[in-house]
């Protein structure tokens, strides 16, 4: 039995800890995340890492529950939350919601195990954990000492991290979702109006193909191929800017490729109607969130997690309700006013995409275009829900026969629903040549951020990850003939910020590329090192580097060995941090036999994995232009 336990969740928590507790031998400290572990370590305070108490099967059980509950809004008792034919509760991003569930359940299980193991008299923690502690039943009464919560535990899209140019304005800030959208709309209005990039509704009767949340530069080959055909090509970007800079903007100089000004679809009369209904909807949401229904929907074992997540989910819906109602109305008008022949999307889980899927009363063909490098197997298939693969309802265009076979055999998707298109976004990669503008060998290091959504995130993984990066840096920095480049995936994850800070502390001279062109970096590199923290999700930079004929070393900071097809076929070298990484780095840079073998194996692997090399845009454009509208 421990007299006092202190639960630390970050730097702000540490600052609140009473001084007398720090030197009290009857006190135990518990670090709940990497930040708290680091701050306690820096202050030489002995502490426990409690997520070590959770085993793999418990993490998988939590993830599986989060998958089952992600469509909670389909409960028959929630039908009255419809606006313009869309259940407003259904618009929330699936992965964003699932990340909240997983994080809450992990924290709940950790705190429960701490209390069971320690049987403390007193618990000191942030009021952030008051609902967690109330949820946990204890045989004896425990005195709670809670300091005022100062945690900013935001969901994915509460705040937006911008590290790129929008138009001519360079931005590197964290801003609120509301402010981000205002900046996005302002910049698009200025440049699209002056440059004539907006879609003209005079052309709405013409056959049109709508692209949802596409980056025009990434898919420039596809859009250009469609520009030569007799269709309106329209980009509808409510979440991300369609116009990002003048280079990507050039695509819209084509007469029939335009950006949809969705804001103009809402009249003042529409706004008055929305505001009137919004008040009633808010009241109904309040009632629902205080009801027994939600306790039952979110029941896990004998307890409900709803009291813990209620406030956070309620805040998200209240902050976004007006936005979601506008979106529902905009989507309905687009579907009914524009002669849409097809709608192309990159996922089934985002807000924009879900709004269109749930409002498609005219049965317009919806095509899901694969956008990420997927190579699921028997061990990793449970995680395909993160890409929406476990519930495909529409036609899907995949990159090759490997994905088609998986969807047919593992997900029972009808072959008629699957198009083998190849990857339109990778066509340009096939035509790039290496740029030798340095006497030194260049190695591109691509660390993939750890995700919270699968339940695999833990403090030890972060520790091992940083030790692995230090080991790679030490190997490279000892050799004056090697230059190190670093590229992070531009994903909205906290670990990305952690990695940026890590490299700053490691060597301030290292420039960490985030929004820089992947093609340019691979082009001027001699080899690529990818860090894969989850054994179900290989970074797309691995495929892109294979296409550009670069030798690749993939390293896992876990003890699990990859089972990806490219590893089995020896087209890349795959290791854990227990292996001879130093020797492998030398091989992919300087050993001609290794480099030749990897390139030969890669050529064979790409034939199987990727269809229509360098020609996927043309093939997919042909499919889109001959597709027949549903009636």
Domains of the chain, by residue range, sit at 4-83+94-147, 176-261+324-426+614-626, 268-321, 429-609
Task: State the average pLDDT for the chain.
Answer: 90
What is the percent of the chain where pLDDT is above 70?
Answer: 95
pLDDT band at 157 (very low <50, low <70, confident <90, very high): low
pLDDT at 382: 86
**Mean per-residue pLDDT, 255-280:** 92
- pLDDT over 70 at 17, yes or no: yes
- Which has the minimum average pLDDT: 184-188, 364-368, 538-542? 184-188
What is the percent of the chain where pLDDT is above 90?
Answer: 70
Q: How many CB atoms lie within 10 A of CB 389?
A: 23
pTM score: 0.93
Same fold, 176-261+324-426+614-626 and 429-609: yes
pLDDT band at 170 (very low <50, low <70, confident <90, very high): very low
Distance (Å, whole) CA 548 – CA 516: 17
Q: How many CB atoms lie within 10 A of CB 559?
A: 9
pLDDT band at 44 (very low <50, low <70, confident <90, very high): very high
pLDDT at 422: 97
pLDDT band at 206 (very low <50, low <70, confident <90, very high): very high
**Mean per-residue pLDDT, 342-346:** 96
Written out in words, the top-level CATH class of the domain with range 429-609 is alpha beta
Written out in words, the top-level CATH class of the domain with range 176-261+324-426+614-626 is alpha beta
Looking up tokens 């959504």 gives 453
**Mean per-residue pLDDT, 600-627:** 95
208-266 tens-digit pLDDT: 999 999 999 999 999 999 987 889 999 999 998 888 777 778 889 888 899 999 989 99
- pLDDT over 50 at 286, yes or no: yes
- Of 255, 54, 247, 227, nearest to 166 by C-alpha is 247
- Of 491, 433, 421, 489, nearest to 221 by C-alpha is 421
Distance (Å, whole) CA 456 – CA 381: 15
CA 418, 397, 93, 495 dihedral sign is: positive
Query: What string of DSSP letters covers 490-509?
Result: ----HHHHHHHHHHHHH-TT
- pLDDT over 90 at 181, yes or no: no
457-501 tens-digit pLDDT: 999 999 999 999 999 999 999 999 999 999 998 877 889 889 999
pLDDT band at 631 (very low <50, low <70, confident <90, very high): very low
User: What are the distances in angstroms from CA 575 to CA 305, 533, 563?
Assistant: 39, 12, 11
Question: Contacts for 95-100 with beta carbons within 8 Å, 24 or more apart?
Answer: 95/156, 95/349, 95/386, 95/453, 96/155, 96/156, 96/157, 97/70, 97/313, 98/66, 98/67, 98/70, 98/386, 98/453, 99/155, 99/156, 99/451, 99/452, 99/453, 100/155, 100/309, 100/312, 100/313
Distance (Å, whole) CA 259 – CA 237: 8
Is residue 250 within 8 Å of 191, Cβ to Cβ?
A: no
Phi, psi of 161 (to 5 degrees): -90, 115
Q: Using alpha carbons only, how large is the chain's radius of gyration in Å? A: 26
């Amino acid at each position: 039995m421990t007299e006092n336990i202190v639960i630390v969740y970050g730097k702000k928590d540490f600052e609140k800890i009473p001084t007398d507790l720090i030197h009290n031998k009857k006190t135990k400290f518990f670090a709940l995340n990497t930040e708290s572990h680091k701050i306690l370590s820096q202050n030489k305070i002995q502490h426990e890492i409690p997520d070590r108490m959770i085993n793999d099967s418990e993490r998988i059980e939590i993830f599986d529950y989060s998958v089952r509950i992600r469509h909670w809004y389909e409960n028959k008792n929630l039908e009255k939350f419809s606006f313009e034919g869309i259940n407003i509760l259904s618009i929330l991003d699936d992965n964003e919601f699932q990340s909240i569930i997983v994080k809450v359940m992990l924290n709940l299980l950790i705190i429960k195990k701490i209390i069971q193991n320690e049987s403390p008299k007193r618990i000191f923690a942030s009021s952030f954990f008051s609902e967690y502690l109330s949820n946990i039943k204890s045989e004896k009464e425990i005195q709670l000492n809670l300091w005022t919560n100062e945690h900013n535990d935001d969901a994915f899209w509460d705040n937006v991290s911008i590290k790129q140019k929008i138009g001519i304005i360079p931005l590197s800030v964290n801003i609120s979702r509301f402010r981000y959208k205002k900046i996005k709309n302002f910049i698009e209005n200025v440049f699209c109006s002056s440059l004539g990039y907006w879609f003209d509704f005079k052309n709405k009767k013409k056959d049109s193909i709508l692209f949802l949340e596409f980056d025009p530069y990434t898919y420039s080959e596809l859009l250009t191929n469609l520009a030569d055909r007799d269709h309106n090509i329209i980009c509808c970007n409510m979440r991300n800017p369609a116009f990002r800079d003048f280079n990507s903007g050039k695509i819209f100089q084509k007469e029939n490729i335009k950006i949809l000004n969705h804001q103009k679809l809402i009249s003042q009369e529409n706004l008055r109607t929305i505001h009137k209904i919004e008040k009633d909807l808010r009241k109904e949401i309040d009632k629902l969130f205080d009801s027994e229904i939600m306790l039952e929907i979110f029941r896990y074992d004998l307890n409900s997690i709803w009291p813990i997540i209620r406030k956070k989910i309620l805040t998200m819906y209240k902050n976004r309700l007006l936005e979601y109602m506008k979106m529902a109305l905009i989507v309905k008008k687009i579907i009914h006013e524009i002669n849409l022949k097809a709608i192309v999307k990159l996922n089934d889980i985002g807000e924009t995409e879900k709004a269109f899927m749930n409002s498609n009363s005219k049965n317009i063909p919806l095509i899901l275009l694969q956008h990420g490098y997927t190579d699921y197997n028997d061990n990793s298939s449970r995680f395909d829900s993160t890409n929406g693969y476990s519930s495909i309802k529409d036609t899907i265009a995949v990159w090759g026969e490997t994905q088609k076979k998986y969807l047919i055999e593992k997900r029972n998707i009808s072959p008629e629903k699957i198009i083998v298109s190849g990857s339109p976004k990778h066509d340009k990669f096939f035509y790039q040549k290496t740029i030798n503008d340095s006497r030194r060998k260049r190695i591109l290091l691509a660390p993939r951020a750890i995700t919270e959504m699968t339940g695999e995130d833990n403090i030890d993984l972060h520790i091992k990850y940083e030790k692995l990066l230090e080991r790679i840096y030490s190997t490279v920095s000892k050799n004056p003939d090697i230059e190190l480049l670093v590229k992070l995936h531009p994903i909205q994850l906290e670990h990305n910020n952690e990695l940026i800070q890590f490299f700053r502390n490691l060597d301030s001279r290292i420039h960490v590329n985030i929004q820089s062109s992947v093609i340019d970096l691979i082009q001027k590199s001699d080899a690529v090192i990818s860090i894969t923290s989850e054994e179900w999700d290989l970074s797309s930079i691995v495929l892109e580097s294979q296409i550009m004929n670069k030798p690749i070393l993939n390293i896992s900071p876990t003890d699990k060995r990859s089972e990806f097809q490219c590893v089995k076929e020896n087209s890349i070298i795959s290791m854990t941090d227990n292996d001879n990484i130093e020797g492998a780095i030398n091989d992919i840079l300087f050993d001609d036999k290794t480099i030749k073998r990897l390139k030969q194996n890669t050529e064979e692997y790409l034939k199987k994995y990727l269809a229509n090399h360098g020609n996927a845009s043309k093939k997919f454009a042909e499919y889109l232009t001959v597709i027949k509208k549903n009636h």
